[in-house]
């Protein structure tokens, strides 16, 4: 175990006695703290439950944290949590990769209100285009969830919940900061009885900074995003609709190579892409009986990415594009059996998807339609101090046949405040259309399959704080990776025999009258067992701590993130390199000028550290952003 992670864990241990002593001072804030530490989540099991009682490892990022972050995308919010690594290929709007517990960026499901937005073409979901201002909270479930969500849920699930709560009225935000970055947000909320109407619109424009460390030309970004949510009750049926759309332009640089092997970089050329991502969903939910509730959701997700320059690898010099259109039917049934000391919730249903992908990239073009089905059954039982979850799923793919996955989780409440858990599960990922038919195509690829084992502790100390500890091992068979073979070094997607990630996570939350503290530490060993090498762009250790001090009319706070070095490959030659470890410090302050008008300032990378999240690509230096918010209620 490295010195940095050992220091982090020691710090957690040293703070425990202090935290226990402070718990008694939190009596006047007990109700508020109880809400913070027992927030209701839905993503882990598809059924509402308090976060503190979940058998699964979860992270909840609430609305206050999203507002205080003043972040341009959700990546800057996720990075302060253990077991989550990011890879960035340049500035605002550039591709953003998410690695949950050492898994690949395309081995986790990203959802908006339960609707999957992972494209069927390139890599992971477009996290760089997700504006935090549009969301009420973010729920992250770590570990396999293929049994109830289908393909891709090897590393976990991230569910972004759109804004729904608050008093009737309008909220507005206007901000500006470093790199010529400007942002506005406007949100309206109306609720009467069982009816709700919520609309939010946010826009961002940034001059950005050079994509590559060796480049000198800034590359900008524009994004206009919005959500519209409507819900009501007709007779005894709850009905609703959701619309989300993000559209804009992202500029970047391409490397220009010389003709002599090993093809040195001799310059950079301007490039850009237009994106339009959207989700439209309608749902209806009602009770067949007092104990049986059914929900039906129909959704359509479109991911449309078009390059603005000709593809030099294409004979007709057409412009590259990646388009995914996915229609989904999601039927869920929840049956409650028993109550009190013995309780049982049976959840079963089906997810039917019809997906069409259309792509032209590096001169390779394809169009593929795929119809897939997931059928699932989950049983949650409570008997005395014990809780048991059993889930099984059957995923059916036209090219890969049927694949069964499962979860088995057991929790024992040693006391009302101490929960011990142990779990196992499997997950599955079908190769994407690009894996099979795009750049580096290999139609003979096998699906990726994983087995996960985990043990954990959740300990609530008094009314104000919670500790957690989890140890896990995730083994992935037939991991898909890209190799570049001589003599032309053309890419080829292949399966490697096996990869394995072992890890340990620790977390601590404290909520007092005027203080809040959150700390997380993570150690993991993500390895390709075929050659005993480290998997790329995953830090072996990280430590983060966030704290805030509240005053009568404002708040000041700080976020500290320390991440270890990571294995990577050189952006030009592909040779193995190491991205150095780094420490980031963020500071923020906000003040309520009036009950309806506030001012917030945030200083990112306050120490002005140079670091890379992908070898050869720039990241932001010291940056200041100031925003003002108005509420009209």
Which of 106-120, 256-270, 537-551 is predicted with the least confidence, judged by mean pLDDT?
A: 256-270
pLDDT tens column, 618-633? 999 999 999 999 999 8
Pick 51 or 454 by higher pLDDT: 454
pLDDT at site 21 = 35
Over the chain, what is the mean pLDDT?
90
Annotated domain spans of the chain = 3-632
What secondary structure does DSSP assign to 450-505, as a single string?
EEEEEEEEEEEETTTEEEEEEEEEEEEEEEEEEEEETTTTEEEEEEEEEEEEEEEE
**Residue written as tokens 């709560």?**
165
Whether the pLDDT of residue 334 is over 70: the answer is yes
Q: What is the token pair recorded at 532?
A: 């005993």
Neighbouring-strand partners of residue 443: none
Q: Which residues, 6 or more positions from 222, have their beta carbon under 8 angstroms from its beta carbon? A: 93, 203, 204, 205, 206, 248, 249, 250
Cβ pair 268, 256 in contact under 8 A? yes
Q: Answer whether 190's CB lies under 8 Å from 196's CB.
A: yes
Q: Among 218, 154, 268, 214, which Cα is nearest to 499's?
A: 154
Residue pLDDT, tens place only, 408-439: 999 999 999 999 999 999 999 999 999 999 98
pLDDT over 90 percentage in the chain: 79
Q: What is 3-632's CATH number?
A: 2.40.170.20
The yes-or-no verdict on residue 256 having pLDDT over 60 is yes
Residue 489: the pLDDT is 65
**Per-residue pLDDT at 342:** 86
What is the Cα–Cα distance from 8 to 5, expressed in whole angstroms? 5
Which alpha helices (H) appear in 122-177, and where do they start and end? 146-149
Q: What is the pLDDT of residue 34?
A: 43
């Amino acid at each position: 175990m490295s010195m940095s992670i050992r220091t982090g864990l020691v710090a957690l241990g040293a703070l425990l006695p202090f935290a226990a002593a402070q718990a008694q001072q939190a009596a006047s804030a007990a109700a508020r703290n109880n809400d913070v530490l027992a927030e209701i989540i839905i993503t882990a099991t598809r059924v509402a439950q308090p976060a503190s009682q979940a058998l699964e490892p979860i992270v909840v990022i609430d609305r206050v944290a999203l507002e205080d972050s003043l972040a341009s995308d959700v990546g800057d919010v996720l990075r302060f949590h253990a077991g989550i690594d990011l890879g960035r290929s340049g500035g605002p709007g550039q591709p953003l990769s998410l690695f949950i517990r050492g898994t690949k960026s395309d081995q986790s499901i990203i959802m908006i209100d339960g609707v999957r937005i992972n494209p069927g073409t390139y890599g992971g979901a477009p996290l760089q285009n997700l504006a935090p201002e549009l969301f009420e909270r973010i729920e992250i479930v770590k570990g396999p969830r293929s049994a109830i969500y289908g393909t891709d849920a090897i590393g976990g699930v991230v569910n972004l919940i759109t804004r729904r709560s608050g008093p009737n009225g309008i909220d507005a935000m206007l901000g500006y900061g470093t790199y010529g970055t400007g942002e506005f947000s406007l949100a309206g909320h109306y609720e009467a009885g069982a009816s709700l109407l919520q609309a939010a619109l946010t826009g961002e424009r940034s001059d950005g900074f050079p994509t590559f460390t060796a480049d000198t030309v800034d590359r900008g970004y524009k994004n206009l995003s919005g959500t519209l949510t409507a819900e009501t009750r007709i007779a005894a049926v709850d009905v609703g609709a959701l619309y989300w759309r993000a559209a804009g332009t992202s500029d970047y640089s391409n490397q220009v190579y010389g003709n002599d092997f090993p093809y040195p970089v001799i310059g950079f050329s301007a490039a850009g892409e237009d994106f339009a991502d959207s989700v439209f969903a309608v749902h209806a939910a009602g009770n067949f009986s007092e104990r049986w509730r059914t929900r039906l959701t129909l959704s359509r997700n479109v991911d449309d990415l078009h390059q603005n320059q000709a593809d030099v690898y294409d004979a007709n010099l057409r412009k590259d594009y990646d388009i995914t259109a996915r229609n989904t039917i999601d039927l869920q049934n929840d049956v409650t059996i028993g109550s009190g000391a013995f309780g049982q919730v049976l959840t079963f249903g089906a997810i039917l998807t019809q997906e069409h992908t259309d792509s032209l990239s590096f001169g390779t073009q394809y169009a593929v339609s795929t119809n897939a089905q997931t059928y699932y059954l989950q049983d949650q039982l409570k008997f005395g101090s014990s809780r048991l979850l059993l889930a099984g799923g059957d995923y059916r793919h036209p090219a890969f046949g049927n694949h069964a996955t499962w979860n088995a989780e057991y929790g024992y409440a040693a006391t009302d405040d101490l929960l011990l858990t142990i779990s196992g599960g499997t997950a599955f990922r079908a190769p994407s259309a690009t894996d099979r038919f795009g750049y580096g195509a290999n139609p003979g690829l096998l699906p990726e399959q994983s087995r996960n084992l985990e043990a954990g502790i959740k300990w609530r100390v008094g009314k104000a704080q919670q500790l957690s500890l989890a140890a896990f091992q995730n083994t992935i068979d037939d991991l898909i990776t890209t190799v570049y073979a001589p003599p032309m070094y053309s890419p080829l997607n292949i399966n490697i025999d096996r990869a394995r990630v072992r890890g340990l996570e620790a977390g601590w939350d404290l909520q007092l009258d005027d203080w809040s503290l959150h700390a997380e530490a993570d150690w993991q060993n993500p390895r390709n067992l075929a050659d005993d090498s480290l998997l790329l762009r995953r830090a072996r250790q990280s430590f983060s701590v966030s704290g805030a001090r509240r005053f009568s009319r404002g708040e000041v706070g700080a976020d500290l993130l320390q991440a270890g070095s990571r294995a990577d490959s050189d952006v030009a030659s592909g040779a193995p390199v190491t991205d150095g470890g780094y420490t980031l410090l963020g500071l923020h302050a906000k003040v309520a000028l009036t009950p309806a008008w506030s001012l917030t300032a945030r200083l990112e990378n306050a120490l002005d550290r140079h670091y890379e999240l992908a070898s050869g690509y720039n990241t932001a230096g010291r940056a200041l952003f100031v925003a003002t918010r108005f509420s009209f209620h």
